[in-house]
Chain A
Amino acid sequence: MSEEKNVITVNGMMRSPGNLDCDEVDVNGMFKINGDLTSQKLKGNGLVKITGSVKVDHVKMNGSLKVNGDMETQSVQVGGLIKANSIISEEIKISGKLGIKNNINCDAFKLDLAGNSKVQNIEGSSVEVKQRKIKNHFLKVNTITADDIDIEHVTCDTVSGDKVKIGKGCIIKNLTYMTSLEVDPDAVVKNSEKAV
């Protein structure tokens, strides 16, 4: 085997009519894949649309990443918008807007809110949602389950965690925690319970 890598570089606009299997995808502009993408890396600026599912070890994008299917990754870093059916990853860092139809299962999840975001469930070991620059945006999610939870501006039905910090702007219906709970005076938690 040679050490040559299969790299696809897009400058401008490109369309792939079917599944794509390569080592690296580098996009500046727009890339649309009608099928699945399998790669070690996906990086770039601009818009990437994938109609199938994504198996990419490392994703680093500025712009929009829209996936119709599921994403299976090691790390995801997106500045802008990310849409998918579900994400499995070790590390997710997003600043911007998020729209995930089903679950996110991720060891370390970080979201800097800029735009209203939505996801069905988030599960993992740490979940951090913050609002830094732009005000009045929120994340809507059904359940959050993780050991360390530190969230702001999140609307959620059920939060379960070990060490839980509910920051400003949160509206939580039900909360269970194990070790500690901190609630900002600006947040609303309807029911909270310590699991013994």
Chain B
Amino acid sequence: MEEITKKDLLILTGISYGQLYRWKRKGLIPEEWFIKRASFTGQETYFPKDLILDRIDKILELKDEVSLEELSEIINKKQSEKEITINDLKETNLFFNQEVFDLYEKETIGFNHVVLLKLMDNIYHIVEEKEELKNFYQFISKYAKDILNDYKEIYFITSNDKLTSIFVKDSNNLEYQVDDILKVNLKNLIDNIKLIVMV
């Protein structure tokens, strides 16, 4: 994963140290993204570039409409039971492939299923056989709660039109030698959806 130093991040985004650490304090930027490492100019903090830039964009975009306290509550609280209508969800522009809505049959949708649908959306382009996608969706919607609460990452591999998924609880010691792999970090996915859907 490409990394960016704290200094470059501030220059690139125009935010201040104070803002960065205020957002960390409020839980809007996860502590794991602050990677401390020794460098020739002493200790330097690095960030996963894509993740942090994406998150800062979202916070800057939302911060005029929603207070930091509210944002912090949205991202840190347990997923609400509140359901929203499919039409409202379609209007968020969260989805690239409108076809995934066909997978869901009801009129209203809870947060967990929004995450699952978004997951389908993210893997849509790697699955050629759409019947596979449907089977997989039926499988994960059955265990939605367990998957979203217990697992950190999902890896997807396709071969011969078959979709294989690996659910991972702790990815620190995972090594793999497969070229076509799609990795989804569940927590980041959930947090990003919260910032879009719940605001």
**Would you call A152 an interface residue if the criterion is a C-beta within 8 Å of the partner chain's C-beta atoms?**
no
Task: Tell me the bound Cα distance from A162 to B44 in angstroms.
Answer: 16
Residue A125 contacts which of B6, B10, B22, B45 (CB distance < 8 angstroms)? B22
CB of A146 within 8 A of CB of B43, answer no
Instruction: Count how many pairs of residues, one from A and one from B, have CB atoms less than 8 Å apart in the complex.
Output: 59
Query: Contact string, B4-29, partner A, CB cutoff 8 A, digits 1/0?
Result: 00110011000011110110110000
CB of B41 within 8 A of CB of A158, answer yes
Residue B18 contacts which of A142, A143, A147, A174 (CB distance < 8 angstroms)? A147
Chain B: CB-nearest residue to A174: B42
Interface size on A (CB < 8 Å)?
25
Residues of B18-76 at the interface with A, using a CB-CB cut-off of 8 Å, are 18-19, 21-22, 24-25, 41-45
Residue B41 contacts which of A124, A174, A178 (CB distance < 8 angstroms)? A174
CB of A143 within 8 A of CB of B11, answer no
CB of B21 within 8 A of CB of A125, answer yes
Residue A123 contacts which of B10, B17, B41 (CB distance < 8 angstroms)? B17
| Min distance, Cβ A70 to any Cβ of chain B, angstroms | 12
Using A105-B24, A105-B25, A173-B42 as known contacts, say yes or no to A160 and B18 having CB atoms under 8 A apart. Answer: no
Q: Which residues of B contact A126 (CB under 8 A)?
A: 18
Using A105-B25, A160-B6, A195-B11 as known contacts, say yes or no to A125 and B43 having CB atoms under 8 A apart. Answer: no
Q: Which residues of B contact A142 (CB under 8 A)?
A: 43
Task: Tell me the bound Cα distance from A196 to B7 in angstroms.
Answer: 9
B interface majority secondary structure: helix
Query: Contact string, A107-151, partner B, CB cutoff 8 A, digits 1/0?
Result: 100000000000000011110000000000000001101110000
Q: Which residues of B contact A160 (CB under 8 A)?
A: 6-7, 17
**Would you call A184 an interface residue if the criterion is a C-beta within 8 Å of the partner chain's C-beta atoms?**
no
Residue A88 contacts which of B7, B25, B43 (CB distance < 8 angstroms)? B25
Task: Tell me the bound Cα distance from A137 to B44 in angstroms.
Answer: 27
**Would you call A96 an interface residue if the criterion is a C-beta within 8 Å of the partner chain's C-beta atoms?**
no
**Would you call A176 an interface residue if the criterion is a C-beta within 8 Å of the partner chain's C-beta atoms?**
yes
CB of B16 within 8 A of CB of A147, answer yes
Q: Which residues of B contact A124 (CB under 8 A)?
A: 17-18, 21-22
21 contacts between A and B (CB under 8 A): A88-B25, A107-B18, A107-B25, A123-B21, A124-B21, A125-B17, A126-B18, A143-B43, A145-B6, A146-B17, A146-B21, A157-B42, A157-B43, A160-B7, A173-B42, A174-B41, A176-B41, A178-B10, A193-B41, A195-B11, A196-B11
Footprint of A on B, CB under 8 Å?
6-7, 10-11, 16-19, 21-22, 24-25, 41-45
Footprint of B on A, CB under 8 Å?
88, 105, 107, 123-126, 142-143, 145-147, 157-158, 160-162, 173-174, 176, 178, 191, 193, 195-196
